[in-house]
Amino acid sequence: MKHFVILLAIPLLIASCKKENLKKIDGINYPTESQFFDVNNDGTADFELRFTQVSSKDIPISESIVTGRLVELNSTLILPHTSGKTLKLTKGDQIDRPGEFIDLVYYERQIVSREWDGNQWDEYWTVDAVSEETYYLGYLLNSNSENNLGWVQFDINKEDATVTIVESKQTSEDFIVID
């Protein structure tokens, strides 16, 4: 009988662990799975938007934050603005091909966040960008032995943090201008 009770408890334990990985938080909406982006339409994802939650009971002022960060996939390289932020590019900016030795110093790839102030969640997602309406990202795409420089424009829904590609352009030249 003792072994039977243990066998019944194991599936319940596994089910409760799965619920922790759903990334659902009362009061806010955000994708429960990563979003993948294929900027050159070759059927292979170039970026992933991954959501994480950080909570701390030890720091009452900032009990929790949920962030959405871009992750580079398949040898794609995100090119940050000179300020080091991911979505700080605007229309008319020129993106230059990086030199042979690319500075791989970590910079913030967070593009959206939502904080808990101790009483409630922020009303909307905060987008880490220069503009409140247009969001551009520069990238170096390594595909089929070619290194194409490009940019992508995202639309970001501030209510549920869903991100869609509006436009993407790339070139084999040494620079590209966001037009």
DSSP 87-102: B-B-TT-EEEPP-SS-
In-domain check, residue 11: no
In-domain check, residue 16: no
> Does residue 110 sit in helix, strand or coil?
strand
- Vertex 79, ends 74 and 82: CA angle to 5°? 165
Domain housing 59: 23-177
Where would I find the H helices in the chain? Answer: 2-20
In-domain check, residue 138: yes
Residue type, 122: D
- Interatomic CA distance for residues 104 and 32, integer angstroms: 30
**13-70 pLDDT, tens per residue?**
333 223 233 344 555 666 777 899 999 888 999 999 998 877 766 655 556 788 888 8
**116-170 pLDDT, tens per residue?**
777 788 888 888 887 777 889 889 888 777 889 999 999 999 888 889 999 999 9
In-domain check, residue 10: no
The reported pTM is 0.73
In-domain check, residue 7: no
Half-sphere exposure of 80 (CA within 13 A, CB side): 18
128 within 8 A of 108, measured Cβ to Cβ: yes
In-domain check, residue 77: yes
- How many structural domains are present in the chain? 1
